[in-house]
Structure 1
Amino acid sequence: MTSTNPFAGPRPTLDLGIPDFVLEAREHVPCRADPDAYFKDGLRPREARLLCQGCEHVDPCAAFALERPELSGVWGGTTTEERRAVRRRSRTELAA
């Protein structure tokens, strides 16, 4: 008797909000090496910048996160709170 594994075959891809340029990068991307470090509570802006230091995707990553307010953690060397402040300033400037 043969049993079939219901979990065999291709696994579905989860949409975790990780940008393609990070997933497909061939060079070292710091956040792929230690993703947990980017989602610690209470990280200060300086610590966030240090985590992303040297990554060539810092600017597109920060832009990616600014467009997605649901993202938390460090993205493009910015903290969740820093990105909130940028969005608030942008709304205030548009309203003026």
Structure 2
Amino acid sequence: MNWRELAACHGEDPELFFPIGDGDAAARQTERARAVCRRCPVARACRSWAVRNGEVEGIWGGTTASERRALRRRLLRQAPEE
């Protein structure tokens, strides 16, 4: 079974996970999305997928786009040079 089928957000309105703007309404929406992620059994797989694939929009695995960029930069710095 695919991790997406096990996700707590499966069946939720997808718009919840794509807040628009930086104001109070967007912050409240982000927190509601993160609340779903906190109870998700596959949040780690979701977050890893989003980081690996450079997902630039929305809440994935409880992280915002800027948090995922920071995670990706950290991973790239830790990667051994070839």
Aligned pair 1:78/2:63, yes or no? yes
Deviation at 1:38, TM superposition (A): 0.2
Q: What is residue 69 of structure 1 aligned with on the other side?
A: 54
Aligned pair 1:35/2:17, yes or no? no
- Unaligned residue ranges in structure 2 (runs of 5+): none
Deviation at 1:82, TM superposition (A): 0.3
CA RMSD of aligned residues (A): 2.7
Structure whose CA Rg is larger: 1
Deviation at 1:71, TM superposition (A): 4.3
Q: TM-score, normalised by structure 1?
A: 0.59
- Unaligned residue ranges in structure 1 (runs of 5+): 1-19
- CA distance, structure 1, for counterparts of residue 73 and residue 80 of structure 2: 11
What CA deviation, in whole Å up to 9, does each residue of 1:11-40 have, x standing for no partner?
A: xxxxxxxxx421x33xx7235312101011
- CA distance, structure 1, for counterparts of residue 48 and residue 55 of structure 2: 14
Deviation at 1:93, TM superposition (A): 3.5
Percent of pairs identical after alignment?
A: 34
Q: TM-score, normalised by structure 2?
A: 0.67
Give the count of matched residue pairs: 73
Q: What is residue 60 of structure 1 aligned with on the other side?
A: 45
- CA distance, structure 1, for counterparts of residue 39 and residue 55 of structure 2: 25
